[in-house]
Structure 1
Amino acid sequence: MSQHAFLHPLSIEDYLAGEEISDIRHEFVAGQVFAMVGSTRAHNRVTLNIAAFLRHHLRGTPCEVHMSDVKVRVEAADAFYYPDVVVSCEPFDPKSVFLNEPTLVVEVLSPSTENVDRREKRLNYQKLPSLKEYMLVAPDEIRVEVYRRAGENLWELDVYGPEDESVALTSVEARLPLAEIYGDG
């Protein structure tokens, strides 16, 4: 005999309050929460390499780099996500627990999140007027995809592979060497 369970949407206020006391990070989409999974060493290395490069490159500018513990709010999608790396040039608020205006969002792909990163998150992040680029990085092969805003509701895709030396990131005026992404630090 089947049993029915009712799923009650969680309010944004309850989600944010829960995240402050939780040992596990959760993403929020339309009232539902989804626990974040751990990552591999390759995933962590690539994430750290990208964040370190961007932090050094953006030193002395009003832009900041954050890694996986800072949420991005996508109000138009009723969502909060934890990107692997995010750059924001919005004014610093030391009490804020999320960003509203990212310029660059980077997701390092994993088998458990790749489909969500490619579809749901990409489409939702692209609703942010401040977002200029969305970057997907394969941790186990040399492959980087950069979705770049080319106009209102118009995006271009550039794919970088082993034959390329660097990834053009126009949002932060940088060329990120592939050797820097995939190097062992």
Structure 2
Amino acid sequence: MTAPIVTQVSEEEYFALLKESTEKLEYHGGEVVAMAGAQLPHNLIASNLIASLWNCLREGNCLVLNSDQLVHLVECSKYVFPDLVIVCQAPVLTERYGLDVLENPEIIIEILSDSTELVDRTEKFDCYKQIASVNEYVLVASKKKKVEVYRRTEANEWLLHDYLPQDQTVRIGSCTLLMDDIYRKVDFETRTPAP
């Protein structure tokens, strides 16, 4: 769950707060939002995606970055922590008050939860679309097997491909992942790891 902790601060004040904070803080154009911890299914899915994507991309130039990587959404005056980011070109990092901020994400992955889904689908997606380097936006459900991959076309349109439980594989970037690997050990009923 996210909750605003401070409002109407400058970018400089935000980075000062971020450097001292024990929690992740996002900057939304003057408002600082604390990111709460995630549920177990969310964390398992994130770990599974990192493992599968790293395994697929380990031989090339691509980097798979976890939710500790701060990303700058210039057009929206925001700094956010996506669940996963993939960058295959040389990463463009800007140092902001002693912290590295990624400026050129190529694939952004968000794992949906009750508290973040609306923002991930609307506000954040609207901002991600304005980053020229972003060519895919992936939404991964945490309560059922479903992955939505939005891909940017050459005409700057976004096409959606839904991957549903009956689909055995999911394509993210150049990787073909098994749906079962993405959801490995996720038990939607008990919210504890499946054997």
1:137 corresponds, among 118, 135, 140, to 140
The letter for the 1-side match of 2:181 is E
Is 1:182 the counterpart of 2:172? The answer is no
Q: How far apart are residue 90 of structure 1 and its match?
A: 4.3
Give structure 2 stretches of 5+ with no counterpart: 1-5, 187-195
Change (3 A) 1:85 1:162: same
Q: Whole-Å Cα distance in 2 between the matches of residues 8 and 45 of structure 1?
A: 32
Q: Whole-Å Cα distance in 2 between the matches of residues 37 and 118 of structure 1?
A: 19
The letter for the 1-side match of 2:14 is Y
Partner of 2:161: 158
The letter for the 1-side match of 2:126 is L
Deviations 1:95-116 (A, max 9, x none): 6522111111110000011100
The letter for the 1-side match of 2:41 is A
Is 1:16 the counterpart of 2:15? The answer is yes
Q: How far apart are residue 132 of structure 1 and its match?
A: 0.8
Q: Whole-Å Cα distance in 1 between the matches of residues 7 and 111 of structure 2?
A: 31
Partner of 1:70: 69
Is 1:104 the counterpart of 2:103? The answer is no
> How does the TM-score come out when normalised to structure 1?
0.88
> How does the TM-score come out when normalised to structure 2?
0.84
The letter for the 1-side match of 2:70 is K
Q: Whole-Å Cα distance in 2 between the matches of residues 74 and 61 of structure 1?
A: 26
Change (3 A) 1:60 1:14: farther
Deviations 1:125-166 (A, max 9, x none): 111100011000111201111111013431001111011111
Change (3 A) 1:152 1:78: farther
Please state whether the residue corresponding to 2:106 is helix, strand or coil: strand
Over the matched positions of the two proteins, sequence identity in percent amounts to 36
User: Is the CA contact (8 Å cut-off) linking 2:94 and 2:102 kept in structure 1?
Assistant: no
Change (3 A) 1:91 1:16: farther
Partner of 2:81: 82
Partner of 1:148: 151
User: Is the CA contact (8 Å cut-off) linking 1:30 and 1:79 kept in structure 2?
Assistant: yes
CA RMSD of superposed structures (Å): 1.9
Q: Whole-Å Cα distance in 1 between the matches of residues 122 and 14 of structure 2?
A: 23
Deviations 1:14-40 (A, max 9, x none): 212321221011111111111101111
User: Is the CA contact (8 Å cut-off) linking 1:88 and 1:99 kept in structure 2?
Assistant: no
Q: How far apart are residue 58 of structure 1 and its match?
A: 1.4
The letter for the 2-side match of 1:15 is Y
User: Which portions of structure 1, spanning 4 or more consecutive aligned residues, are displaced by more than 4 angstroms?
Assistant: 92-96
Is 1:46 the counterpart of 2:28? The answer is no
